[in-house]
Amino acid sequence: STHRIAVIAGDGIGKEVMPEGLRVLRAAAARFGLQLEFTTFAWANCDYYREHGQMMPADWFDQLKGFDAIYFGAVGWPDAVPDHISLWGSLIKFRREFDQYVNLRPVRLMPGVPCPLAGKKPGDIDFYVVRENTEGEYSAVGGRLFEHTERELVLQEAVFTRKGVDRILQFAFELARSRPKKHLTSATKSNGIAISMPYWDERVKAMAAHYPDVRWDQYHVDILAARFVLSPERFDVVVASNLFGDILSDLGPACAGTIGIAPSANLNPERTLPSLFEPVHGSAPDIYGQNIANPVAMVWSGAMMLDFLGKGDARYVQAHDAIMHAIETVLVQGPRTPDMGGTASTTEMGMAIAALL
């Protein structure tokens, strides 16, 4: 059956790495006989905002809801549009309205990538950060009182629902169960955030009872961050609330090398609405226009998309594995973009990956 994919390049280097992501996906589809149908959308970017005063047309939800997935570049152009407007007007709307409650980020030290942590080699760092993506600390509940006076008061609530907490924990335990180490770590801070985090811990304990085959532990997020840097090899699946997961899922990929290769998935595991696949990095205004952005994060995000769409279908698994193998080969042999010490262009690196397929 045909998979329909909405393509949104966004801003900055999103527009440069997207063609390479599509080039590789088309090559994989041709080789493994996948039916992928791409539809490009020219909104959810800051140029559209400048013309229309909003990031997306009013009917964006209806235009996108029927797609199987959204393949997304990066959004944001801070010189023209404040980041809270561009991100909350597009990406964050997708995550919330499409109920993409899992933000999944692999943290893997790839061959050929210099590791910022001393003495680590490929295989030492290989885990997932599972971030809750729809509630928690990132709530819209709160407000300001007595503005611009000495009594000024600002309040923002964190929201933890039983449904919201349990579903992210269930996803994380299932993921841990599917992996050889079968190990889960929960990020908490119940010593300081003494209402919501003890609740989170309680739900972890209750969920763990359903997964006797998964070993689990928990750490306060501060020491957990230190352990990411000091002993990343001990992690397998790390589950965290929205804010803690945001921080850990940037720290993790940073421990495993350049931001230019880190991918992510925003999943609606029930598949009632489209999931979204995007690089971890943003629009990188500082390098935009030179065709030197590393396309690997975009390509790897495409591999994650195939893995999700295929639901275990052998052709999709093969396509995913072949893309990952091609990425590894190019990371080792080159051509490489300047962020990896090379001189190749975005296009050259993308073409080299596609050629291996």
Does 132 interact with Mg ion (rule: CB under 5 A)? no
Q: Which range binds ligand NAI by CB under 6 A, 57-65, 116-124, 193-201, 278-286? A: 278-286
Does 246 interact with Mg ion (rule: CB under 5 A)? yes
Q: Which of residues 128-187 bind ligand NAI (CB under 6 A)?
A: none
189 is known as an active-site residue = yes
Does 259 interact with ligand NAI (rule: CB under 6 A)? yes
Residue 349 CB, nearest distance to Mg ion (Å)? 24
With respect to Mg ion, which residue has the nearer C-beta, 92 or 356? 92
Does 339 interact with ligand NAI (rule: CB under 6 A)? yes
Does 78 interact with ligand NAI (rule: CB under 6 A)? yes
Rounded to a whole number of angstroms, the distance between the first and last alpha carbons of the chain is 22
Q: Which of 91, 109, 265, 323 binds ligand NAI (CB under 6 A)?
A: 91
71 is known as an active-site residue = no
Which of 48, 71, 101, 138 is catalytic? The answer is: 138
Which of 83, 217, 222, 321 is catalytic? The answer is: 222
Q: Which of 75, 176, 243, 353 binds ligand NAI (CB under 6 A)?
A: 75
Q: Which range binds Mg ion by CB under 5 A, 51-59, 101-109, 114-122, 249-257? A: 249-257
Does 286 interact with ligand NAI (rule: CB under 6 A)? yes
Q: Which of 185, 196, 218, 294 binds ligand NAI (CB under 6 A)?
A: 294
Does 66 interact with ligand NAI (rule: CB under 6 A)? no
Q: Which of 19, 38, 47, 87 binds ligand NAI (CB under 6 A)?
A: 87
Sorted by sequence, the CB contacts under 8 Å of residue 62 that are 6+ apart come out as none
With respect to ligand NAI, which residue has the nearer C-beta, 164 or 257? 257
Question: What contacts 24+ positions apart, CB below 8 Å, involve 246-252?
Answer: 246/131, 247/221, 248/129, 248/131, 248/187, 248/221, 248/224, 249/103, 249/105, 249/129, 249/131, 249/280, 250/280, 251/225, 252/105, 252/107, 252/127, 252/129, 252/228
Does 16 interact with Mg ion (rule: CB under 5 A)? no
Does 328 interact with Mg ion (rule: CB under 5 A)? no
Q: Binding partner of residue 281 among Mg ion, ligand NAI, none, CB under 5 to 8 Å per kind?
A: ligand NAI
Q: Binding partner of residue 246 among ligand NAI, Mg ion, none, CB under 5 to 8 Å per kind?
A: Mg ion
Encode the chain in three state secondary structure. Answer: CCEEEEEEEECCCHHHHHHHHHHHHHHHHHHHCCCEEEEECCCCCHHHHHHHCCCCCCCHHHHHCCCCEEEEEECCCCCCCCHHHHHHCCHHHHHHHCCCCEEEEEEECCCCCCCCCCCCCCCCCEEEEEEECCCECCCCCEEEECCCCCCCEEEECCECCHHHHHHHHHHHHHHHHCCCCCEEEEEECCCCCCCHHHHHHHHHHHHHCCCCCCEEEEEEHHHHHHHHHHCHHHCCEEEECHHHHHHHHHHHHHHCCCHHHCEEEEECCCCCCCEEEEECCCCCCCCCCCCCCCCHHHHHHHHHHHHHHHCCCHHHHHHHHHHHHHHHHHHHHCCCCHHHCCCCCHHHHHHHHHHCC
- Do residues 202 and 236 make contact, with C-beta atoms less than 8 angstroms apart? no
Q: Binding partner of residue 196 among Mg ion, ligand NAI, none, CB under 5 to 8 Å per kind?
A: none
Interface size with ligand NAI, residues (CB under 6 A): 23
Does 281 interact with ligand NAI (rule: CB under 6 A)? yes
Which of 68, 236, 246, 339 is catalytic? The answer is: 246
Does 11 interact with Mg ion (rule: CB under 5 A)? no
With respect to Mg ion, which residue has the nearer C-beta, 103 or 185? 103
79 is known as an active-site residue = no
Write out the catalytic residue numbers.
138, 189, 222, 246, 250
Residues at the site binding ligand NAI, with contacts judged by CB under 6 A:
13, 17, 74-76, 78, 83, 87, 91, 259-260, 278, 281-287, 293-294, 297, 339
Residues at the site binding Mg ion, with contacts judged by CB under 5 A:
246, 250
